[in-house]
Amino acid sequence: MTAIETDTVMERPAAAPAADARASAARQQPASRSRKKARSFWLKQLHTWHWVSAAVSLAGMLLFAITGITLNHAASIGAEPKVTQVEAMLPPPRLAELRGDHAAAAPLPPRVAEAVAAAVALDPAGRAAEWSDEDVYVAMPGPGQDAWVSIDRTTGAISAERTWRGWISYLNDLHKGRNTGDAWFWFIDVFAAVCIVFTLTGLLLLQLHARHRPSTWPLVATSLLVPLLLAVFLIH
């Protein structure tokens, strides 16, 4: 065997590790692509859920943020309640419907409620009424206002009063869900659920981007610690 042939034979074993490395890299590439694809899919899902929940809850968050300020400073925000009183008479045919026995909290008969609404511009339809031998009384509280109607069961005399406390009081009552009815009750629940989705998707997005933003977790910790410390040490 010549010197050239000997060199060739000695170089052949060195090619095997390189081939194995290439084969290993080739096997790893599909797995790496699969992980990147999965990460891209979930990242896109998080972004979608985050911006959709933000868009859906935007107006509600603005309302509740502003009314949080007005509620916090309610004592320093002056408001002059506007009281309106109205007197009227119930038509005789409708008065007859008030006679007889009625359940303790039964609402006004539908035609009586229509006549009252036309006479005093307050609609008692469907509201629980307090029946006594002398009169029937209907309380009609609402956001930003209190109202009531009283009807004499003998004469048909209607007395009504409405107290309007202003738009800030109205918005504050929406924030608290005070006298707002079932529709607003369910709106608050749905809105709160959407805000939870918005917050949690935002937290997951923070986690995905945190390695490129060193201040992420210190800021998140601050958002937790500040209210916790205030609640523990400064609220009595």
In the 8-state DSSP scheme, what is residue 100? S
The residues that bridge with 152 in the sheet, in sequence order, are 135
The residues that bridge with 145 in the sheet, in sequence order, are 142, 164
Is the pTM above the cut of 0.85? no
How far apart CA 170 and CA 164 sit, in angstroms, is 9
Can you read off the two tokens belonging to residue 186? Answer: 């369910």
Highest mean pLDDT among 1-5, 79-83, 207-211 belongs to 79-83
Q: What are the distances in angstroms from CA 206 to CA 53, 140, 176, 200, 219?
A: 16, 48, 31, 10, 11
Give the model confidence (pLDDT) of 109-130 as tens digits. Answer: 999 999 999 999 999 999 999 9
